[in-house]
Structure 1
Amino acid sequence: MNLNDDWDDKGSSKPVDPFKRIPGITGPILRTIAIIFAILIIFSVAFGSIFVSVGAGEVGVKFSQFGGVQADELGEGLHIVPPWVSVTKYSVQSQVYTMSSQAAEGERVGDDRINALTSEGLTLGLDISIRHRLISTDASNVHQKLGTAYAEKIIRPTVKSVIREVVSRHTAMEIYGQQRQVVAAEMQTELEDRLKNDGFIVEEVLLRNVQLPERVATAIEEKLQADQEAQRMIFVKQKEELEAERKVIEADGVANATIIRARGEAAALMMINEEIKKNPDLIRYKYIQMLEGQEIQTMIVPSSEGIILDVSNKKVQD
């Protein structure tokens, strides 16, 4: 048999199978690959694309028509999945759920604030924002139990329950005043404990606004002003006490300096007296020094001294 005849289809009226032209085992392999691709294309057209792209900050949950939700989630990037498997994408980025009294601010239209009772029985209106995110490895479990509307099914009711429990343990003054951040931290801790088993991480609780009954708000404002005034008076008193203490210290310093100076002068006088005892003429010399520069023409001294001094240097007589 001439191989050239197999490859030469000139003059032949029958169609030639191209795979018959590939010698050896290569033909069956390529034929199989072509059949597989043809089947995949048919399934893609019938059931959807086999290529799935998972974006940044997302995770894909697979659902098989033959086995239900699959536990192995798809990470970011391009994936090939069988045509009978559908993929639902979930965000694993931080998200904020807000309940507010402002009509267009929260997740629901209208007044959606949380009303809660304090330990003394007062009703407070709280505007709350919860920053949370889905744990990527728990996405398939969330998809199976809650679905894509998990925020309304688990986040919202859990937040309302925890907020009311925490508020019931505190007074209105604590929640409205300086301990607001402490109360918010307590809310976050309890929400973390409640939601972590459901596949969520609570990153922050923002206690954005506290609305009190009008009479209570007025009373608290007056108390806060009174506390501020009391703090101011304490500051003024402390300042005055410090100023008085400073003056006492200053007076003590002046007194000590005077005493030291007096002691120095006394010691100097004692030294001078000792020297005068040793040399009596020293006092006469000091006296003459004191008179220098004075407008005195004649000075008379006791006769026992035996001299008359003319300070004008005109004449000295014995």
Structure 2
Amino acid sequence: MSKKKKITTSTGVEVRHKPLGLRIWNNRGYYLMFLPVFVFILIMYYWPMLGIRYAFYDYKPVGAPTFVGLKHFYSMFKTDAFWSAFRNTLELSIMKLLITTFTAVIVSIFLNEMGNLFAKKTLQTIIYLPHFMSWAVVASIFSLFLSPSSTGLVNGLLRDWGILAPDAKGIYFLASTAWWRPIFYIINIWKETGWGTIIFLATLAGINPELYEAADIDGATRMQKMRFVTLPALSNTIITVLILNLAKVMNMFESVFVLYNNAVYSVSDVISTYIYRQTFAIALPNYGYSTAVGLFKSLVGCVLVLICNWASKKTRGRGIV
């Protein structure tokens, strides 16, 4: 007969801990329900990780894989296109994170200040809707708006306002290295700001009304209440959102893939799109090289998660993993 291990609860009471096998048997229904999910996770998430070994092989569509050691990593670090994609990934992701977070804070504050409940709910619904549109649809919409042809809305307005001559060639915003990044940030603001306001509005709803009443007694104006009551209350949430999203900066793909083209690779190509091109856009791809790039990206992402976890413990008192 197995002995039951004694444990002490937070109230100081000693209870006997049942053996693991008995606990599994007693909760067998829950484990059976979890089994399909567990098998799905193993097959879809962990089984493909065995392919990491090909980062150390020459693996092409024809011929058997041959072991090459760290050759692909040496080649990767010597390739200018890789470093350009790496820099673009960090710059685009971090700038997008800062801009969308700042915009979401401003929008949530103004939504919170709206007194008309119907107008507030209507506006919230309108700014939430773009988040549910796929990036392919968003890219199609903005490609039409920004088209350099006569049907392009933006170029048409520039001609009507006299900024462009009536017979002048339109600006191809999505094929210009000077315009692509600003347009990319604007599109991300339009699509993601509404969704980002949800967590900030929830924080604002939890602010103690007595703080605003005390500010009224002191004669504070609305702007002063926003500055000295609302923003300090949001500060911890802003820091938390920045920390949690910083861990995902290496995962940018779809938003860039549907908007970029070969004319703007120098300012738009990111690690994920670089891997995609190395795998699918050349006649005889070396899957070993693209696997090595993907492994490097995962390692950088892991380091960022650990850094964010440490920063989260320092600011929130608990980690994210």
Whose RCO is larger (CA < 8 A, sep 6+)? 2
TM-score above 0.5: no
Q: TM-score interval w.r.t. the shorter chain?
A: under 0.3
Largest Rg, 1 or 2: 1
Compare the two structures and name the one with the higher strand fraction: 1
